[in-house]
Amino acid sequence: MPLDAVNSGSLVTTEWLASHLESPWLKVLDITCHLPNAKRDGRLEFQNEHVPGAMYFDLLGAGDPHSIFSHTLPDPQYFADFFGSQGIANEDALVLYDINGIGSSPRAW
């Protein structure tokens, strides 16, 4: 991954993202997830509109499958396996976003 991918920390600008969308080392993940009472479907919303080249990332699917609570952080191996099953590797740079601005993407981060 090129050094400018670090982009001084954890945040990138929309200009930076637009200029790197075709980079093979960059994965853009739409993490949109709504609370049940919102009666909205993040995956369906992704199908209708998303950043070009983005993948939908199922935040609920990435959670601990053995916990009685949703959105629970899984053990490291499950988390690594889940990311790998999504085509995400250690050497990839990730950009996470959600349509709520700061809803579920910070939780995924």
Q: Indicate which CATH number applies to the domain containing 70.
A: 3.40.250.10
Question: What string of pLDDT tens digits covers the 109 residues of the chain?
Answer: 554 545 556 788 899 999 999 999 999 999 888 877 888 888 899 999 999 999 998 887 888 888 998 778 889 999 889 889 989 998 899 999 988 766 777 777 7
Q: Identify whether 15 is part of a domain.
A: no
Q: Identify whether 18 is part of a domain.
A: no
Q: Name the strand (E) or helix (H) holding 85.
A: helix 76-85
Place of tokens 């049940």: 36
Check residue 7 and report its DSSP letter: T
Q: Look at residues 30, 28, 54, 61 and name the one whose alpha carbon lies nearest to residue 43.
A: 30
Full residue range of the structural domain in which residue 34 is found: 27-108
Q: What's the structural domain count of the chain?
A: 1
Can you give the pLDDT at residue 33? 84
